[in-house]
Amino acid sequence: MAFQQPASLYYGQHLPHGIAAFAYLTGRQGTWRSIHSIKYEEEYYTSAQFATPCPPLAGHPTDVAKLLEKASVSPNDQIYTARDSNCLLLSDFGNRWSVNQPPRGQHVFVEHVGANKCGVQTNDPLFLAWLDDNWAARNMMQAYNAPLPWGLHASTTPSRRTVLDVGTFDPCPNASTTSFIDRIAQHALYQANTGDWNGVLSSFDHMLSIAKPSFNHTTHWFDYTDVDDVYHLALMKIVGQRLLDDNSRASPRVLEHVRALHGNLLTMQGRNATGGLIGWTTSVKNVKSLINTETTALAVLALCAGAQFCFEASAPPMKPARGFFVRPYAVVSAVVGRSPAGHRMVFGPNVRLPTGEFVVSFNLRMNSSRVPNEDQFVGTVDDFDGVSVLASMDFHGSENEWSLVNLGVSVTTQDNSMEFRVWWHGTTAFDVGAITVAAKKNSQQDAIQSTDFNQVQAAEDYSRTRWDFALRHV
């Protein structure tokens, strides 16, 4: 059974990191849980801690310790809830601050199951389901064609996470005076949804001033030394990607940060004892922090924001050719004197696309101060359909900067096996990062469908989940 994505969906499927994290959250060790009954008793936040005005309710005292104790167990699939930071309550369909009980067969995402970055349970689980967490995870479930969480509802005050897609409610209109990246990012996404691109750029710069980026000479990207919440990096990446998608604001500076944020997320992802990719923990710096729903869902969305499919040159189903180097910071490198000049450097993923117009975007970085002459090209990108080259482009590079090379592709036959290739000319060292596929703007697309992603070794857990991942987009 395949679930079709809505036409307005902004997020796609990332292989292998995104699909593996999605599979972990929805698998038997994750936070996607069957719900037989739901209880609303204690509050988590005090009146002063809510982001929006939230009156106290009789019979629902704020008692964090008692709530955490109760929600550490889930007898007979009993789940707890409380009003989230916007004073919204899961399953409160009448907007009366009272819960409705679920019909049979429903699922929700709970806060966490006590697992650390290695997937080992080191703490009690927290079977507490928030409306805002489940709204963020809703976007992830849509992107991966899966059933949506139960209990979501419209309200006179929408969830702050509605701005992740097309929401036009501003969850933080006073963001310019705050130092909380989460609130600034929510406001920036509202600005993007309403077309205020100058405002988005200003908000993005505001977040960078708080994050204090510092250049890492090993990875050749920025670290964000004052950011301790992984989901803040994810939100910053989504906002940056929105800027790139609006061509009038797409600048080399924004691209540098989008690539750096992307790389940071890739390298921060947890792995289990066998090396399998799992989820993300809350904290960048605290080694005792736990994998949770909100952080992982937002990281998954950030990895493939603005495209239908996203691949990493350094990981399956893409393949690096012999003589080129897979770096621990998620790029494939060509090295002068060691890599074979004139050869194919990266290729894959060999998927079938429907007929239509697409843009294949290659993230490339000339990792050297040796700038080629104007008549010299660093390399070539092309799209091979199994029979012939559909499109190709030679490219120059900029010294130690990322470039986004967009290749327009017209697919005229359904009998194809698409291979995106990068060729190295040998003139200077450079890196290949993510390769993304997006439907060309203003073109009507049929479903994008992959025939077989079971070959993706790094996403081994996903094959054990309960859905058929025929990848589709309308």
> Do 428 and 371 touch, CB atoms closer than 8 A?
yes
pLDDT by residue (tens digit) across 356-370? 899 999 999 987 656
Q: Give the rounded percent of residues in the chain with a pLDDT score beyond 70.
A: 88
pLDDT by residue (tens digit) across 33-89? 999 999 999 999 999 999 888 999 999 999 999 999 999 999 999 999 999 999 999
pLDDT by residue (tens digit) across 417-471? 999 999 999 989 999 999 999 988 764 333 333 322 222 222 333 322 323 333 3
Beta carbons within 10 angstroms of residue 269's beta carbon:
24
Quick one: which of 188, 138, 147 has its CA closest to 297?
138
Q: Give the contacts of 22 (CB within 8 A, at least 6 positions apart).
A: 140, 144, 146, 300, 462
**Which residues are paired to 383 by β-bridges?**
391, 420
Please state, in angstroms and rounded to a whole number, the distance separating the CA atoms of residues 16 and 213.
27
The residue that leads in pLDDT, 369 or 308, is 308
Q: What is the mean pLDDT of the chain?
A: 88
CATH topology of domain 310-447: Jelly Rolls (2.60.120)
Check pLDDT > 80 for residue 381. Answer: yes
The pLDDT score that the predictor gives to residue 474 is 20
Q: Give the contacts of 387 (CB within 8 A, at least 6 positions apart).
A: 416
pLDDT by residue (tens digit) across 12-33? 999 999 999 999 999 999 999 9
Q: What region does 26 belong to: left with phi over 0, alpha with psi -120 to 50, or beta? A: alpha
Give the domain ranges of the chain.
Answer: 13-308, 310-447
Averaged pLDDT, 297-324: 97
- Enter the pTM of the model: 0.91
Q: What dihedral do alpha carbons 252, 258, 264, 265 form, nearest 10°?
A: -160
**Which residues are paired to 15 by β-bridges?**
311
DSSP calls for 335-377: -TTTS-TTEEEEE-EEE---SEEEEEEEEEEE-SS-PPPTT--
The pLDDT score that the predictor gives to residue 468 is 33
